[in-house]
Structure 1
Amino acid sequence: MNGEKKPNIIIRRERQLRGWSQQKVAELVGTSEDVVSRWERGERKPSPFFQEKLCMLYGRSTEELGFIPPSLNMFTATTTQMEDIHVIDERLDQAESIINLSWEAWFASRPKQVVREVTKLLFNLEKTILTPLAAVHKLHAKELIMRGHGLLGGIYLDELQKDAAFYHYSQAHKVAEEIHDINLSPTYFVLIGDVLRRQNDKMVALSYMEQARDQAIRTANMATLGYVLQILAYAYSDIGNEAAFECAISKATDLLAFADEGKDAAKKEFTPFEIYEIQGKANRDLGKPLKAISYLELAEKSLNHTDSMMPRWRALLEISRGQALYDAGEIKSAIDVISKGFILAYQCHSPHQMNRVRKLLKKLESGPDKSFSEVQNLKSLLYETYMRMDNNVI
């Protein structure tokens, strides 16, 4: 057993967090790709010279990179040490499963259950990292904390609890910075900007997003940069900067729609769908509803290729189409489509999408079409639906 080779998963994880290849690390420390591969597989231990270089490269100590054993006061004996490591591994694996299942539960329209489970999980993980842990376990726990906060940020934003969303995205970004995750750091930073955009703090939001873009250009992979540009395009659309919007969305399309990498960076599917939906929204904002409708038709075709997350995305698409039809003056068709979207949004527990319909209803009630029977029917639908909900927000 003493001669058994044990892979150094810590230096491998540190490399992967930065999106580096083994060849890249080899160039940075002055050795060959084969040597780096052997270090990671545990076939060879770096000499003190290269240990120092790797510590400087990753900003970690020799203990944190697994070159020397963890402090002995962490465990009382070798047997206990092995038992503790097994227990910690098991707990972290369970926590990771909960995070993964929570994403699926949210997409399956169970946000309250997700918030309850992930909040409890985060509390336990925060306690865990305060205890003596091997570096690899502490890193794993922090990754899960980051993902948990990121998930809660998305849910709270959809629930219109923007302050809570801002907090959780900020926490996720803070941890991403701590563990040097070069892809998720700009991702969460641009999402902080997206919260500010939805709070109508548009110029501050734009500042956050452009900083995220600059960081992604310097350090992140193509998929992350594409996702950041995709969100940034929303901000340019909001302020009416058509040229900047077209530039950002064009680059995002090149990076995401054709690179087949978008899922990993953004934790979402349907990159083409999102690109088309953003273009539809932007053209509505720019006073081009007919062009918006054509993009939304493309979004629908993209959406038809998959069954995953169907209700939530269907709701978004139908409501966007309804808004574009309204802008084009097709009031009755708009109300018919947006009513379907509202029902879908209610079924998948998406207050954000439901609120979009409420805003359109206010426009209808203050406009020349307020006497239409379709407008009254939409008002009745909203009233009856909100009356069924726990919190009456109408």
Structure 2
Amino acid sequence: MNGRALAAFLTGVADVGDGPRGGIVPHRLPGWARVQHDQPDLRWAEGCPAGAALRLRTAASRLVLAIAATAVELDGVTFPDPPVLAVLDGGVTTARPIAPFDVVPVDGPGAPRRNGPAEVVIERPAVDGVVEIRLPHNCRVELLGLEADAPVTRAGEPAGLRWVHYGSSISHCANAPSPDRAWPAQVADALGWRLRNLAFSGNAQLDPFAARVIASADADLITLKVGINLVNADSMRHRAFLPALHGFLDTIREARPETPIVVFTAIACPAQEHTPGPSVMEDGAYRGARRALEADGGALTLARTREVVERVVAARRERDPRLFAVDGRELFGARDAHLLADGLHPTQEGNDLIARRFPGLLPPEALPG
């Protein structure tokens, strides 16, 4: 079948666009939301199909997925190298590299290098079952077609609690070696949940369109991780943050009056705990800005974002008992800071640690049954 036919097999995406090779490009934000910002890094992040998969039922012994993947090149380093997808079949997950792949330079005048597309071969026992092909979480892809030696039908959405998660690069987990190793994916797999991942590296900015996308998604549980990107980008001060968070929650609540919402504050990041943003990369690690402002009392630090989140949730709890706040340092605290690869992003060991801790930190009242 061609790439356009594969749209019917996709889960975890908002819509698809046209690709340069005649296939389809998955998007995590719908088209109407994509025109409401002009951030190149958000364009890239939402086009990386974290949490998205092709779900199909077949008795085929051989599947061949035609796919074009696009990595980025920064300071002469290609990431990811190579792109990887994961195949879940019969309860076993295997990582499959996508090679060759395209490369787009992001910090220089060089032209994109079109090396792909690739064919990913999936050989399996010729027994009827559901095959889930999890798309790369950290690069863009164009789906071009699928060949099989037996009929293929839609498997539909998986069963389980419908979980929508919004967050930053800490939840996007671009450094995870394969899509199943991102901590939200690990949580969903362990609990048998159906994940819709709306984590966008660098862009958990409380954008109004993001709130509307969350509100439009069928969800049994909504979790939000808020704070770090506001400090990283120095995009808000206290004056804007407090009403923006109220407004973000209002938008979701108006559409989802009964759905539990759990707001996680920022995980530990020593460089920004008490130092305002923006974050600055220096010698391979992030640090807070060296600001030369007077009486800068409204600047946000991570500590202050936690205070605001707790204040907002406390103010709403009396009329919204299904709203909860959790201290993100319980997920990943100062004692875990040695697991920050660059002073900001957890290593894979850190991602695994968050995945193990996350379920136990959800308030029991937020879970059905």
Q: TM over 0.5: same fold?
A: no
- Give the greater-gyration-radius structure (CA): 1
TM-score, L = length of structure 1: 0.26
Q: Which has the higher helix share?
A: 1
Q: Which has the higher strand share?
A: 2
TM-score, L = length of structure 2: 0.27
